[in-house]
A and B are shown apart, each in its own frame.
Chain A
Amino acid sequence: MSAIAHSAVAVTRPTALSAALAQLADAHVRGAPLRALAGCTDVLVEANHGGLKHRSFIDLSGLKSELGGHSWLPDGTLRIGALCTYSALLADPRAHEAFPMLTQAAGLVGATQIQARGTFAGNVENASPAADAAPALLALDAVVHLQSASSARTVPLSQYYTGYRATARRPDELIVALEVPPAPAGEQFFRKVGTRAFQAITKVGISARLRWHEGAIVDARVVATSMAATICRATHLENALRGVRGVDGATSQALRRAQDADLRPIDDVRSQGDYRAEVFHRMVLQAVRETRA
């Protein structure tokens, strides 16, 4: 039995970004916002579980020439088009070299089929606390480029999530690109703990960037996945990491206390809070050990 009766949905497929933005603006004014479709790998799951309320969609697949693929700006910034898939980025060796945490994350999204369809922008906009690519982007200080018929703006990913599955995007806006600034300082560390090896939702994950100088951490970015209502930076923990030279009992306890001030993970159908907290802590220690020069 198909989840959506085909007659019950309306889908438009513009072939120019300007037309798409005009349609979004128009629908917004009429109070019947259009839901964007990129790879559709999140939307279809929602539909299948009966949670999809929208009946009007805007299929972005006609905008590949404007929004597809990725590019490198002269300063080394990585610009990821809104329709850039995981497979596309994974095919670029430069991406692996510059942002290993991002390509590691991309390579662990779903499995081959999902990576061929799923987009970074879809992952960001879907706003799941268990997302894999978005946390790596956040740890790399990525920014979101939004555009509407009348305006364009950028929002740092660190300010993009406004609550559980809520983003700063207005209904008449599209994400047109994500930009990752060049030459991120520090060693990158990414680890996903899923319910199985592939095709797995993250139970707990860490995306960290630790900068070492003369045997001590001088700067830290730590993003937690599935530890709160949104993916988020653990700022107490980041502070506590500064000055750390290695892992001993006291350091470990201090880091755990800081983590607990940032993150109070909950129990759900996929895991439990005590596990998430303990394993996140252990992954922080692993990150310290493995990034130490």
Chain B
Amino acid sequence: MPDGNALSPDHRVGRSVPRPDARSKVTGELRYIDDQPFSGLYGATVRTRSARGRVTGLRFVDGTDQGVDWREFAVVTANDIPRHSKLDGVDPNLVALIARDQPYLVRDEFRHVGEPVALLAHPDPEILRRAVDLVEVQTEPLPAVLDYRVPPTPGQVQHGDDSASGTASAPSDDANVFSRIVVSKGAADESRDAFRAVFESAAHVVEGVYETPAQEQCYIEPNGMIARVEVHDDDREGALWPTNPWKVVIEGSMQCPYYVHKAITHLLQLPDDKVQIIQAPTGGGFGGKEDYPSIIAGHAALLALKTRQTVKIIYDRVEDLAATTKRHPSHTRVCAALDADGKLLAIDMDVTLDGGAYVTLSPVVLSRGAIHAVGPYNIDHVRVHNRAVLSNTPPHGAFRGFGAPQTVFAFERHLDRCADALGLDPVALRRRNLIQRGETLAISQRIDEPIAIEAWMDEALTDIDYTGKRAAYAAFNADAQASGSPLRRGVGVAVFMHGAGFTGSGEDYLASEVMVRAHARGGIEICTANTEIGQGSITVFTQIAADALGLPMDLVSVAKPDTDHVPNSGPTVASRTSMVVGHLVARACDDLVARLAANGTLTDDDRRSADELETADRVSALSDAKGKQYRPDRLQAALRCAASDEAGATEGWATYQRPPGGAWDDKAYKGIAYGTYAWATYCAAVEVDLTTFETRILDFVAGQEIGRVLNPLLAEGQIQGGVVQAMGWALLEDTIYVDGHVKNPNMTNYVVPTFADVPDVKVLFQESPYAYGPWGAKGIGELPMDGPAPAICNAISHAIGVQVDTIPATPERVMRAVLAAERSQEATS
């Protein structure tokens, strides 16, 4: 790391300061939503039990023998919800997200197993649980799409225009397609023929097909919400929809309080100030608590309105696994044209994501997958055709990486197939094609930052001893073959990047705001809507603010995300919290100091003397740590004074400002997709046992350039956690759908890795500060999810000499690949 990047020793940023929330989490003192003291009713959800059909009625089966007396229950169905919102005319029953097509409660047609049809509330959770099974949902079946890879028949079309260009027997190309994106560059921009010509004249054309499964986020605690209504005295009985708006307060496990807020104001047709959303301590989200919490919050609120009581809905693990969102399954065909030396001339890719039954977040997941598909390589001619399509399973949604892990898996796996076809070392092939400063990505974004991907890659390769292992494993495998040992070893690599923050102009639309407020102890409170979900955001925000002001950490506190008290700083997703929101925290601190200076609370006398000032201490190109220019005792006095003076400047604000540079063209799918990228090389060494076909990961090195490491221990934890989550996706985790039912909705059969399944993960950081992140930081939340699966499968393929193209690379799959290769070898010999 160049020394010019180093921070002075009195910084909190760059140090592994302990997290303030650690103790309560480790000791179990922390109260997750279901642990909180509660009195009220329990709510539960009656769900559909087939993949597609029409609900014709509900039958409440007598349950007297089980203590179920239907008169004691509150029941809410779609009939309780008006069809047109008095605010905007749209059906309030449709969840306010990208497209409004997913109902809170099925009115008529339903599209997946586990779709909510009715809500029940009762004081006794056990009786409630029995009652759910006693509600018979009467249905008429409709033709369901059970395999997203197969084009729909006319009867299966549920989305998109099938009448315009389709015929009765063959639906159009848009049938059941939620979203379509084409990335193109070079000859692909010119014409089909020009693009085809590149392939026709290439020395090598290599093709492969890759598939990935639905992955469950497996946060610590399942989803849950508590809703209460502040009822007017004259309104204790009566209609579900009061003419005179009440206030609805919802607390629960979530990533994005303002997403829930938007959804609930729409569902209940309430003005913004009548809905208050509070984040309860949340033990991990990984995207799984991005959009689905809106539905549970809506359900709890509907029951609360109907009963005028506080209602709690907590999913158990089975319900959570069966009904809520997972990572999109994917099917990708990659075709590469290469010259004789392994230079990639052109890439043609077809990506299909399984969106599940409703649009939800599929278009944006697809977009990130499309943009990351071709990775950090300089390739002249590219076409990536991406589709998210419907199937009759619960909607697939956000999950760490957001489409990128799927496309990166296909592409990085394919590079090894190409190397194999050309007889090249996989790393040598990558070297020949890595992007350099001044060259352009597939989306035509020119990389202007100083990057040194090859040098960064070499650091990771050296650490795992790639060259040594290639040779040693070749010898090991030859010996094993000769002696009849079933063990085979291999080493594999993946090189990739991940853009942080919302894509393109997404951050402009969000227009995030952060506020910091002076408090009476002479410090500040940071108010953002960004949630601590295990990643350490409280710690990092505290470090940033402490350094921006030059105050000790204990004078900085972080407010609980509560929409009544914090501004909308955007969702906690997309690796944006430290980089984008952290930067706003620093700028809000600057703003507060500027206001104190402007109104005379801070004067020039309060400034540090020139020799006390550190010169290299700007936060970023947009923020300068103004507070640090003042003597800490004076600043504290000024903050105390501001906090006590009601008329004075007690708050500092910052609103997102786009860094200078080019724009993003959403139509052409070209331009500045992300202000910056983190760059990474991951290496895996594995051993495959040909008796059982099990893979053991022997060694793993994760090297990445992330701008600035704000907190080394937390950053290492983020990378290791992400790597382990991706190891599960690569080797173990598979959601088994049969007729649209999740067949393994429990932790016994949905198999996530334990410590015994993973090696120590070595983490290497390089820092090349980004001018528009706090002290140069880039986002890292999603990055570690992208690389492990291809690195591991590349290593497996190296070990056994058979391409492994579908994950999870379970022993069953590896066995079939090995036996198929043996059979085809026998046939040819």
Spell out A's residues near B (CB within 8 Å).
1-5, 8, 45, 49, 111, 191, 193, 195-201, 269-272, 274-275, 278-279, 282-283, 285-286, 289
A288 to chain B: closest CB distance in Å? Answer: 12
Asked whether, in the complex, the Cβ of A195 is within 8 Å of the Cβ of B694, the reply is no
Tell whether B521 is near chain A: CB-to-CB under 8 Å: no
Q: Known contacts being A269-B743, A289-B484, is A283 close to B692, with CB within 8 Å? A: yes
Q: How far is the CA of A197 from the CA of B751 in the complex (A)?
A: 11
Asked whether, in the complex, the Cβ of A193 is within 8 Å of the Cβ of B756, the reply is no
B689 to chain A: closest CB distance in Å? Answer: 9
Asked whether, in the complex, the Cβ of A196 is within 8 Å of the Cβ of B812, the reply is no
Nearest CB in chain A to that of B318: its residue: A49
Which residue, A2, A4, A269, has most C-beta atoms of chain B within 10 A? A269
Asked whether, in the complex, the Cβ of B751 is within 8 Å of the Cβ of A193, the reply is no
Tell whether B438 is near chain A: CB-to-CB under 8 Å: no
Tell whether B42 is near chain A: CB-to-CB under 8 Å: yes
> B residues within 8 A CB of A197?
754, 756-757
> A residues within 8 A CB of B126?
1-2, 4-5, 8
By DSSP majority rule, is chain A's interface helix, strand, loop, or mixed?
Answer: loop
Q: How far is the CA of A279 from the CA of B691 in the complex (A)?
A: 6
Tell whether B819 is near chain A: CB-to-CB under 8 Å: yes
Q: How far is the CA of A172 from the CA of B751 in the complex (A)?
A: 38
B residues 721-746 touching A (CB-CB < 8 Å)? 732, 736, 743-744, 746
A177 to chain B: closest CB distance in Å? Answer: 30
Q: Nearest 7 pairs between A and B by C-beta?
A: A5-B126, A197-B756, A1-B125, A275-B812, A282-B691, A195-B751, A198-B756
> B residues within 8 A CB of A2?
125-126
A194 to chain B: closest CB distance in Å? Answer: 9
Spell out B's residues near A (CB within 8 Å).
42, 124-129, 314, 316, 318, 484, 486, 690-694, 732, 736, 743-744, 746, 748-749, 751, 753-754, 756-757, 811-812, 815-816, 819
> B residues within 8 A CB of A271?
812
B296 to chain A: closest CB distance in Å? Answer: 14
Q: Known contacts being A199-B754, A282-B691, is A1 close to B42, with CB within 8 Å? A: yes
B327 to chain A: closest CB distance in Å? Answer: 19
Nearest CB in chain A to that of B746: its residue: A49
Asked whether, in the complex, the Cβ of B691 is within 8 Å of the Cβ of A1, the reply is no
> A residues within 8 A CB of B753?
196
Nearest CB in chain B to that of A5: its residue: B126
Q: How far is the CA of A121 from the CA of B352 in the complex (A)?
A: 51
Cβ-defined partner of A286 (8 Å) among B42, B691, B694: B691
A224 to chain B: closest CB distance in Å? Answer: 15
Asked whether, in the complex, the Cβ of A279 is within 8 Å of the Cβ of B811, the reply is yes
> B residues within 8 A CB of A270?
749
Cβ-defined partner of B751 (8 Å) among A196, A272, A282: A196
Q: How far is the CA of A4 from the CA of B743 in the complex (A)?
A: 24
Asked whether, in the complex, the Cβ of B757 is within 8 Å of the Cβ of A275, the reply is no
Q: Known contacts being A196-B754, A275-B812, is A283 close to B691, with CB within 8 Å? A: yes
B232 to chain A: closest CB distance in Å? Answer: 32
Asked whether, in the complex, the Cβ of A278 is within 8 Å of the Cβ of B819, the reply is yes
Asked whether, in the complex, the Cβ of B692 is within 8 Å of the Cβ of A279, the reply is yes
Q: How far is the CA of A270 from the CA of B732 in the complex (A)?
A: 11
> B residues within 8 A CB of A4?
126
Q: Known contacts being A278-B815, A289-B484, is A1 close to B129, with CB within 8 Å? A: yes
Q: Known contacts being A1-B126, A1-B316, A283-B691, is A195 close to B815, with CB within 8 Å? A: no
Q: Known contacts being A269-B744, A282-B691, A286-B486, is A196 close to B316, with CB within 8 Å? A: no
Asked whether, in the complex, the Cβ of B124 is within 8 Å of the Cβ of A193, the reply is no
Q: Known contacts being A196-B751, A197-B756, A271-B812, is A5 close to B691, with CB within 8 Å? A: no
Asked whether, in the complex, the Cβ of B815 is within 8 Å of the Cβ of A279, the reply is yes
